[in-house]
Structure 1
Amino acid sequence: MSRLYGDPIEVWTRDGEPSQFVWRDRLYLVRRVLDHWVVAREWWKVREGDPGERQFWRVEASPGREAGSYELRFDTASGGWLLMRAWD
């Protein structure tokens, strides 16, 4: 079962992929990337000089021993990360 969030998170990357993130004051270590995809923004919402992409990452991560699946989103326009969804 998954839950939707849309919470802002702080993410560290290594070789262009998320390696760890902080969500609700807990540090999660990314064990592996399960999927990655890019969604282009609608052309009328793209600002000049900005590709207007949102990059999505589905990762397996854990704050301790038990891992879960998490969907992270990076917005190229704002440079911000969100935790979009979590699976139990």
Structure 2
Amino acid sequence: MSRLYGDPIEVWVRDGQPAQFVWRDRLYAVRQVQDHWVVAREWWKTNDADPGERRFWRLEAAAGRDVGTYELRFDTASGGWLLLRAWD
């Protein structure tokens, strides 16, 4: 079962993909990238000259002994990262 969050997170990237992230004051190490996709933002829904794109990753990550599946999103227009979803 998954839970939706939409929480801002801090992410460290290596070779163009997330390697570690901090969520709720815990450091998570990415163990495996399960999926990655890119969605172009709709230019007609924004006032920006370059609306950018949103890059998504579904991955397995661990904080200590706790291992889970997480979905992260990077918005190229804002430069911000969000943790969108976590699976039990």
Equivalent pair of 1:60/1:69 in contact (CA under 8 Å)? yes
Using structure 2 for the length normalisation, give the TM-score. 0.93
Match of 1:23 in 2: 23
Secondary structure, counterpart of 1:37 in structure 2: strand
Summarize deviations over 1:6-28 as a string: whole Å, max 9, x none: 00000000000000000000000
Indicate the residue corresponding to 2:80 in structure 1: 80
Counterpart residue number, 1:64: 64
Superposed CA offset, 1:35-70 (max 9, x none): 00001111212622x352000000100101231000
Between the aligned partners of 1:36 and 1:85, the Cα distance in structure 2 is 14
Asked if 2 retains the 8 angstrom alpha-carbon contact of 1:9 and 1:81, the reply is yes
Equivalenced residue count is 87
Q: Distance in 1 between matches of 2:61 and 2:51?
A: 29
| Aligned mates of 1:66, 1:8 — CA distance in 2 | 20
The question of whether the paired residues in 1 share the 8 Å contact of 2:43 and 2:51 is answered with no
Work out the CA distance in 2 between the residues paired with 1:11 and 1:46.
Answer: 27
Identity %: 79
Partner of 1:2: 2
Does the 8 Å CA contact 1:61/1:67 hold for their aligned counterparts? yes
Task: Structure 1: give runs of 5+ residues left out of the alignment.
Answer: none
In structure 2, list runs of 5 or more residues that go unmatched. Answer: none
Over the aligned positions, Cα root-mean-square deviation in angstroms equals 1.1
